[in-house]
Amino acid sequence: MPSPWKGSSGSSNALFAWPPATILVVDDEEGIRLLFRQTLEEAGYQVLVACDGGEALAVAHHCRIDLVVTDLVMPGKEGIETIQALRLEQPEIKIVAVSGAFGGTFLQIAKRLGADATLKKPVSSSDLTATVRAVLLTPPVAAE
């Protein structure tokens, strides 16, 4: 059995939590999904992936998700719609929005609609890991 102080990859960076936080990565680009998955698994998190917002919502309905990292511009159900649906259906899930489109305008919209943090593409592994860690450590906002 793996140590409770380390993630499945042996890293001790995932907030020393057991079980480690589960992150859902949503992006229509397979290369980005794989890169983000590898980066976050190496940081000790459990990672699931989805290729669009519709698939992400299905995964979130069937699995315990602590945080979603979602691209904003995707075919099908895009990131803004996904953020809105998650906020309505599962407001406790933390959300990091990622985009390189439209000069950051979509990231501003995502933040206003409920993303806990935003990252502009291209995203470095260290920025992704640091942002995920910071968002997971942020206490939930009390319902008004």
Which is more confidently placed, 17 or 96? 96
CB of 21 within 8 A of CB of 67?
Answer: yes
pLDDT band at 6 (very low <50, low <70, confident <90, very high): very low
pLDDT in tens, 74-83: 998 999 999 9
CB of 46 within 8 A of CB of 22?
Answer: yes
pLDDT the model gives residue 18: 64
pLDDT band at 17 (very low <50, low <70, confident <90, very high): low
pLDDT band at 92 (very low <50, low <70, confident <90, very high): very high
Which is more confidently placed, 3 or 124? 124
Whole-number Å distance between alpha carbons of 31 and 36 = 9
For residue 108, which amino acid is it? Answer: Q
Whole-number Å distance between alpha carbons of 48 and 31 = 14
Whole-number Å distance between alpha carbons of 102 and 73 = 10
CB of 33 within 8 A of CB of 45?
Answer: no
Residues 3-28, mean pLDDT to the nearest whole number: 63
pLDDT the model gives residue 136: 97
pLDDT band at 1 (very low <50, low <70, confident <90, very high): very low
Q: What percent of the chain has pLDDT over 70?
A: 85
For residue 95, which amino acid is it? Answer: I
Whole-number Å distance between alpha carbons of 113 and 52 = 18
Domains observed in the chain: 22-137 (3.40.50.2300)
| pTM, full prediction | 0.85
Helix or strand holding residue 58 (H, E): helix 53-62
**DSSP result, 44-57:** T-EEEEESSHHHHH
Q: Which residue in this structure is represented by tokens 């990859």?
A: 9
